[in-house]
Chains A and B, each alone.
Chain A
Amino acid sequence: MPIQTDKHHLSLSHLIIQPQNMFIKKLSFVGLLLCSFSFYAQDYFPKNDGVRADKNNNYTVFTNATIHVSATETIKNGTLVIQNGRVISAGKSASAPSNAITIDLDGKSIYPSFIDIYSDFGVEKPKRPSGRGRGSQYEATREGFYWNDHIRPETEAITKFEYNSKTAKGLLEAGFGVVQTHHHDGIARGTGLLVALNQEGTDANRILESRSAAHYSFDKSRLSRQTYPSSKMGATALMRQLHQDIDWYRKGNVNTKDLAIEAIINNEDLPKFFEGDGLYDAIRIDKIGDQFNKNYIIVGGGDEYKRIDEIKALNRSFVLPIKFPAAMDMKDPYAASNVALEDMKHWNQAPSNPKWMEDNGINFALTPFSLKSPKDFKANLMKAIARGLSKEKALAALTSVPAAMIGKSEEIGSLKNGTWANFMIASGDIFDSKTTVYEHWIQGAKTVIKDMNITDVDGSYAFILEGTTYTLDIKNSTAKATGTLKKGDEKVDSKFSYKEGWVTVSFAPSDKKYIRLSASPQGNLLTGKAILTDGSEQAISATKGTLVAEGDDTAKGKGRGKGKKGEAMSQEVMPLTYPNQAFGFAQQPSQETILIKNATIWTNESDGVLTDSDILLKGGKISAIGKNLSAGGARVIDAQGKHVTPGIIDEHTHIGAFSINESGHNSTAEVRMADVVNPDDIDIYWNLAGGVTSAQLLHGSANPIGGQSAVLKMKWGASVDEMVLEDKKFIKFALGENVKQSNWQSFSRFPQTRMGVEQVFVDYFQRAKEYQALKKSGKPYRKDEEMETLVEILNGERYISCHSYVQSEINMLMTVADNMGFKVNTFTHILEGYKVANKMKEHGVGGSTFSDWWAYKYEVNDAIPYNAAIMHDAGVVVAINSDDAEMSRRLNQEAAKIVKYGGVSEEDALKMVTLNPAKLLHMDDRTGSLKVGKDADVVVWSDHPLSVKARAEQTIIEGTVYFDKARDKELRKKLQEEKSKLTAMLLADDSGGGGKGGRKPPVWKDKQRMHCDTLETQE
């Protein structure tokens, strides 16, 4: 949660332009700053091409207008007075000064100009440097800046700004009069500027603010190839470290220059925009903001509605791009059958996102950002309004809200006295599709969009040409005029236009012979001439007659009208589920009191396996185990002939993650898997269907020192925070081929050999010790997120799970650990553990291995399926893990293989996927066995749990049934129903989806299967 105090702060300091940046080389820029300071005060500019005659203090007065002063204040039949580009007054009856030009608006509407708060208008696009270096680049390329090239806060968009009147015109037509634009490049992106789209003035007039806000994102700069961060969790960690480094620098502890950090310090008082890619980025941004007390305004992605409660709880302001997914083309049933429910629902639900944000009281601005053209903006906005976004909120989200976000409420975003005279003149309600916008005034300068002085020529006109009587019906002549030529009741193919006061019609009464008409309105007459088929001319004059109403014509409609019909059909908005995709629940499942009766119960305790017994789950805990337990009010599951075991625990998984490896550095102890948990991954549900209740989501094995794990409970539909067990602190280490990058073309990063791997550990732990000593000494120290993590390891507060294969490296790490004074908690994979089982026992490290994987790379040549049995016999705590989304859902079978290979008892084998991983994850106090008082993490199996035939029938976590075979059947049915409903809606939809592009081909997900060595992710 952010601090409330300065959320919409307004700093006076940035109303005054400060040419304070010493490092700007462009002299012209300094000149420009000075100009903008003196909008109507160019008196001091020398003039050599004439005499001074540029002063104009006349007033412009707009009368008879419906003035929308702001989203909440409307003046009917009002008068707006402007002078020198600013609003002097807006009121019921303002008296016009004598030097006023009066414009009678005849009932038209005036709206304040929209503000695009998140634009790249006029700012040069970042270009990748040409040429491609061989290998990865690990170091920063710039001197005198931060150690990471993707931190570019010193970028000032104004130095890359060039006003583009063509783009401006498009924006003005779409309703936008002021934009806040910046250089969309890098993680820290520097400052934006606020520009009025004044087509007549110069930058001296237009630039309202040269440093309007500071900008951030998770995207790396295109201008550098520095590899770190290679993942979103790396970018998140980088933001954290950056703030630590700012603090350290600010305190004067750095004796070199860091212009990037200085820029951040200088811009501290600016509003901060942080661009995300949707829901989960928003949560990530919020967490960074909370930790460092930053009031980030979050630029959203349009899927916030999926977990609106969580978004609401962030209590932050949003900027929402109003972009909706295009309808998929479902005509080819084969291709269409692959489109995921999730994507179909997003198409259906996304237009309701603004409404749901409004309903939940979340403050947001709207932006056309990420649309192909601002032209698509209105159609999308209308869609959102059709879904229930209120017009007041829509107007506020385009005017007062963005103005307040950058502390400019007194200048823009309304038509209060003293604001810039930025407004539109429209035929009526700006949020009506039929409304025409005539003029857009910015700082008192007018851009005509549609001539509002067009004479209304609507009516029916009769002509006699070459002996035939024709009627011409003209409609909608002040907006998009249409004309229909008829001969009696028969429609004649004709071309019609009404432009610049002239009506022209051409048609061919006989083959390839044309008659052309050209006429202009004179009062009630349309007079002009006709050029007949033989080329002769005839004067014409027709009196306006009343149009015969043709009710069916409007209903049939064309273009827009038809689109609306389709839109109306697709108005049914599908309900949200938890999570909002296939196999999501209509309601979050809740904790129950459950009595499982007559089962064979595998306790994993001294009681062993109990037959014909009952187990009572209550309050999320195991409340009793025994025979003939009384149900009380509990729901009874009859498990006659079935088996009950503790939930399966996977010590090593990579499901439910947006990224796996931060491979930009060889040590990344600062990154956290908890930052990239994807609670919507269907693999979580599939794991539940395999009896899995908990897992360690590990960082990958790209680096000797990897990132921090997230230990999860598989609570499908719950939030990330509800899933992650925050007190379980683990970290991934890795050895062998992956960390030395043996199996792909990479030769520049240390280490390239197992020899080097050892030195990485020695180096980092030596530094961690020194860091801790300094920290304890009370002297100032630079807070280092990476070192903090390693210190936790040294202090026994964080446990290592180390990816390992061959005996030499296993021995090496144990030796380094002994020498440096830390413990290795678990060797994961540990395929040659059987060769050093006695040493593992001595060190007290557990082994979490595969049952039978081998042969896939050189270092697993000696992997044997008897590994677990030998380690187990030697007294090592052994777990069987998956590292694989497929295997993780049948770990019970993998445990069974340990009975086959090496003759471990069935009970001990089952422990290898339940109690033992619980021990290795230091959670055996609450799960891993069936014991009164422990978490009710329980699986009901159809058969002996080690049998290939066994299927999980219920998977229960803390007393909540997250998987139920019978319910799964229901969900399958519901899924098909929802898909066929949505398919029908998609087929009926002809609105062209999110933009002009129309339908998009059916595109469906390419689900990435992630393992230890997954370097790049789709993110």
Chain B
Amino acid sequence: MKTLQYILGSLVALFSTVAIAQQTPAPVQTGAITIEGATAHIGNGQVIQNAVITFQNGKITNIGTASGNSSGTVINATGKHVYPGFIATNTTLGLVEVGAVRPSNDDDEIGEMIPHVRALIAYNAESKVVESMRPNGVLMAQTRPLGGRISGTSSVVQFDAWNWEDAAYRADDGVWLNWPSSVTRGRWWLGEEPGFKPNKNYVKDIEEVNTFIVNATAYAKGNTDQNLAFEAMKGVINGSQNLYVAANGEREIRDILNFKRAMNIKNLVLVGGYEAPKAAKEIAAASIAVIIQRVQELPNTSDDDYDYNYKFAIDLVNAGVTVALGYDGEYWQVRNLPFYAGQITGQGMSDEEALKLITSNPAKILGIESTAGTLEVGKDATLFISDGNALDMRTNNISKAFIQGRDISLESHQTKLYKRYNTKAQNGQ
């Protein structure tokens, strides 16, 4: 009994810290705000020097050069830079709080074909990890379930919300499919020979996916008794939702190209795409966008170029593919998204082109480009001011950020601890 009390006690303690962790969501924008004198990085490749940006009721109402009239509260940002809020794709933000603590993990449901499982309703708007994104300029994200063959349905959230309903920016934007792998991995820890070898069941595994899609397509035509899984595929079948397909090998990617054609999938997004440059033209021709997994990652094999992951986005962009940068690794690392784009600039891509990979391109892919992704009139005033190039950790210092015009706090659990213990240290304690 004592033990139980102990457990309950610690659970309460855990929950109470979580509950007070998140910054209080900001109030809605009341008056107009104008940012003056900054270099505006529009997000579509353009730059406006000495810009004036005005937003009202959460929307950008004016953007131009400084000669225009400033209205409302004026923020002088001379010498600074304004960016549209960065949009992270392919994350599990809000679904996991502490990786190694299982009770705090809600990212991976059991089941092989479960498109009906939805990330949105598990999204923790009060996550301490989510709030840590904002000081680096990451203001929106796609959050997705993991696991199985079809993992479930993702949503797009903005990072200033009381709850998941408020956070939802585009609910249920797409379904996630882990494409079968043409290779299998020796489970050496179970005594199998280590290494990868061809997967004998590859074709069969694809056939299972095809069968599912064919059935979902038939289901979408005429209602029978409800099938939750097929029901959840309707948007993919009718083209109102994306099908995100994760694969890295060339063989798989070419099979996905065939799959898209055969199954008549209108909006298919390739996720990962390590070997996508080998089929870049075909990918572009099929209007398939690519979400790259991790720019700052080691090459897949010892024979690859050491900087392969740093640069392969360039090949895809040059071939005309719409590319966004995501992060399927440690969820808390997503705050480094700007630096993944920055890493590519080290390989020769221009800053503005790289910026597109985390602003306008993900907005296009996620189907939110009418309201997000660039600094353009009529779009949401989701933006921030940085001292310097926000894609470089050396100069990414953010003094102000707005989500839909709301003046959000840049504090976090971490900055609070910093202040508390810096004071302690300053006092020689």
Which A residues form the contact surface with B (CB < 8 A)?
A: 332, 334-335, 337-338, 340-342, 581-583, 682-683, 685-686, 689, 737, 742-743, 834-835, 837-838, 852-858, 861-862, 864-866, 870, 873-874, 885-887, 889-890, 893, 896-897, 899-900, 902, 906, 942-944, 946-951, 968, 972, 975, 979, 1001-1007, 1009, 1016, 1018
Contacts and interface: CB of A to CB of B under 8 A. Distances in A.
Contact of B198 (A582, A686, A902, A1002): A1002
Given A857-B98, A948-B343, A948-B346, A1006 B394 contact: no
B261 interface: no
Contact of A951 (B99, B249, B346): B346
A864 B428 CA distance: 20
A639 B182 CA distance: 46
7 contacts: A335-B251, A582-B302, A857-B99, A886-B298, A897-B393, A944-B394, A950-B346
Contact of B100 (A583, A856, A866, A890): A856
Contacts of A906: 394
B98 A1016 contact: no
B98 A864 contact: no
B183 A335 contact: yes
Nearest to A945: B394
A682 B302 contact: yes
A164 B72 CA distance: 97
A1008 to B, nearest CB: 8
B250 A337 contact: yes
B417 A862 contact: yes
Given A335-B183, A870-B421, A1003-B193, A948 B302 contact: no
A693 to B, nearest CB: 16
Residue of B128, B194, B301, B305 with most partner-chain A CB within 10 A:
B301
Contacts, number: 169
A1006 B302 contact: no
A948 B194 contact: no
Contacts of B129: 855
Nearest to B339: A948
B327 interface: no
Of the listed residues A857, A900, A948, the one surrounded by the most CB atoms of chain B closer than 10 A to its CB is: A948
B90 interface: no
- Most chain A beta-carbon contacts within 10 A, residue among B198, B306, B424: B306
Question: Top 6 A-B pairs ranked by shortest CB distance?
Answer: A948-B342, A857-B100, A334-B251, A855-B332, A682-B302, A866-B418
A948 B391 contact: yes
A834 B345 CA distance: 34
Contact of B394 (A689, A890, A946): A946
B70 interface: no
A861 B99 CA distance: 10
A852 B335 CA distance: 10
Contacts of A979: 303
A412 B193 CA distance: 38
B332 A856 contact: yes
Contacts of B343: 890, 948
Nearest to B186: A1006
Given A870-B422, A972-B305, A855 B428 contact: no
A496 to B, nearest CB: 39
B99 A1016 contact: no
Most chain B CB within 10 A, of A737, A742, A858, A943, is at A858
B402 to A, nearest CB: 21
Nearest to A336: B198
Interface in B196-252: 196-198, 249-251
Interface in B252-290: none
Given A853-B332, A944-B394, 18 more contacts: A341-B302, A743-B100, A858-B101, A861-B98, A864-B414, A873-B422, A896-B393, A900-B393, A946-B393, A949-B392, A968-B306, A975-B303, A1003-B197, A1004-B197, A1004-B301, A1005-B196, A1005-B302, A1018-B194
Contact of B425 (A743, A862, A870): A870
A403 B182 CA distance: 50
A334 B345 contact: no
Contacts of B188: 1006, 1018
Nearest to B389: A948
B388 to A, nearest CB: 10
Contacts of A950: 346
A1002 B197 contact: yes
Contacts of A1018: 188, 194
Contacts of B428: 838
Contacts of A885: 298
B336 interface: yes
Nearest to B102: A743
Contacts of A1005: 194-196, 301-302
A175 to B, nearest CB: 30
Contacts of B108: none
B67 interface: no
A1003 B195 contact: yes
B396 interface: yes
A856 B99 contact: yes
A949 B303 contact: no
Contacts of A944: 394
B16 interface: no
A411 B330 CA distance: 66
Contacts of A834: 417-418, 421-422, 425
Contacts of B3: none
A948 B189 CA distance: 38
Nearest to B99: A856
B5 interface: no
Nearest to A893: B393
Given A899-B394, A951-B346, A1004 B250 contact: no
A337 B415 CA distance: 48
A335 B252 CA distance: 11
Contacts of A581: 302
Contact of B306 (A689, A852, A902): A689
B297 interface: yes
A856 B330 contact: yes
Contacts of B299: 686
B196 A1004 contact: yes
Contacts of B197: 1001-1004
Residue among B188, B302, B335, B391 having the largest count of chain A Cβ atoms under 10 Å: B302
Nearest to A834: B421
Contacts of B128: 855
B37 to A, nearest CB: 23
B303 A900 contact: no
A948 B301 contact: no
A890 B249 CA distance: 26
Interface string B112-153: 000000000000000011000000000000000000000000
A861 B343 CA distance: 28
The residue in A835, A856, A862 that gathers the most chain B C-beta atoms within 10 A of its C-beta is A856
Contacts of A583: 302
Interface string B73-108: 000000000000000000000000111110000000
A335 B251 CA distance: 8
B57 interface: no
Contacts of B418: 834, 864, 866, 870, 902
B397 A900 contact: yes
Contacts of A949: 342, 345-346, 392
Nearest to B302: A682
Interface in B281-335: 296-299, 301-303, 305-307, 330-332, 335
Contact of B345 (A685, A900, A948): A948
A787 to B, nearest CB: 33
A338 B417 contact: no
A858 B298 contact: no
Contact of A737 (B100, B251, B307): B100
Contact of A900 (B183, B396, B422): B396
B332 A582 contact: no
A837 B422 CA distance: 10
A340 B194 contact: no
Contacts of B195: 1003-1006
